[in-house]
């Protein structure tokens, strides 16, 4: 009987240790996943905002998706050199190890007008969209000087608050519109440029 109790105690202890280790491992994995998601968003934002500021790429309807250091590029350009430029820009972002360049080259391509109705064929949680846009605005240097409130309802995003310049307001719109799951963006940001200090006057 004593031997049986010892075996049972040893088994119970082993099970408890396994459960504890499993819980700890899951917690670490969850934290790693969150950190990786933040990194993916930051890298995606850096690539896309560089495209938006490039005179050779900003007129094209390009999409960027990053997962674990791999950037996937889609869209259409009119010259092969612009496709290669898009790839090199992505590779130049810190942490990007590989680029899947699916951009199509078409000599007859004409950049579309800005659309306020985009469907990605999938259901995306509004909370997730809002969080992604907030992260993009936080990391983008082109959207600096923003005091923004972001809300999403059924894929329709509303931006409210103030922007330090029209370019920052436009950048916020572009970042929001380029987010997966967004169908439209109502940009209600008010431009409030900083007034020159009296000490700057001659």
Dihedral of alpha carbons 51, 57, 61, 62, sign: negative
Strands 146-153 vs 156-163: parallel, antiparallel or unpaired:
antiparallel
Whole-number Å distance between alpha carbons of 115 and 108: 20
Element housing 69 (H / E): none
The answer to whether position 14 is within a domain reads no
Same domain, 100 and 134: no
Per residue in 45-87, pLDDT (tens digit) is 888 878 877 777 876 778 888 889 999 999 888 888 889 989 9
Instruction: Tell which of 73, 105, 137 closes a domain.
Output: 105
Nearest to 154 by CA among 179, 129, 187: 129
The answer to whether position 20 is within a domain reads no
pLDDT exceeding 70 applies to what percent of the chain?
Answer: 67
What's the number of domains the chain is made of? 2
The answer to whether position 77 is within a domain reads yes
Residue 84 sits in a domain of what CATH number? 3.30.1340.30
* Residue 159: domain span: 126-191
Same domain, 62 and 100: yes
For residues 68-103, one letter each, b for 16 or more C-beta atoms within 10 angstroms of the residue's C-beta and e for the rest, the string is eeebbbebbbbeeebbebbbebbeebeebeebeeeb
pLDDT of residue 119: 39
The answer to whether position 73 is within a domain reads yes
User: For residues 133 and 179, is the Cβ–Cβ distance under 8 A?
Assistant: yes
Average pLDDT over residues 1-5: 58
Lowest mean pLDDT, pick from 36-40, 46-50, 180-184, 188-192: 36-40
Q: Please say if the pLDDT value at position 16 is more than 90.
A: no
The answer to whether position 120 is within a domain reads no
């Amino acid at each position: 009987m004593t031997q049986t109790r010892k075996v049972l105690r040893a088994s119970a202890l082993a099970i408890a240790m396994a459960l504890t280790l499993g819980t700890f491992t899951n917690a670490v994995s969850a934290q790693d996943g969150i950190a990786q998601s933040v990194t993916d968003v930051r890298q995606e934002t850096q690539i896309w905002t560089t495209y938006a500021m490039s005179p050779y790429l900003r007129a094209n309807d390009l999409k960027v998706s990053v997962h674990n250091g791999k950037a996937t590029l889609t869209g259409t350009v009119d010259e092969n050199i612009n496709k290669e430029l898009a790839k090199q820009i992505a590779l130049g972002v810190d942490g990007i190890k590989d680029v899947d360049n699916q951009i199509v080259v078409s000599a007859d391509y004409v950049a579309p007008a800005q659309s306020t109705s985009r469907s990605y064929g999938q259901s995306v949680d509004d909370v997730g969209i809002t969080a992604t846009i907030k992260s993009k605005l936080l990391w983008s240097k082109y959207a600096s000087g923003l005091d923004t409130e972001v809300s999403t309802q059924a894929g329709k995003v509303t931006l409210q608050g103030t922007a330090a310049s029209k370019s920052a307001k436009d950048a916020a719109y572009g970042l929001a519109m380029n987010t997966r799951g967004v169908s439209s963006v109502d940009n209600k940001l008010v431009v409030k440029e900083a007034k020159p200090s009296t000490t700057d006057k001659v």
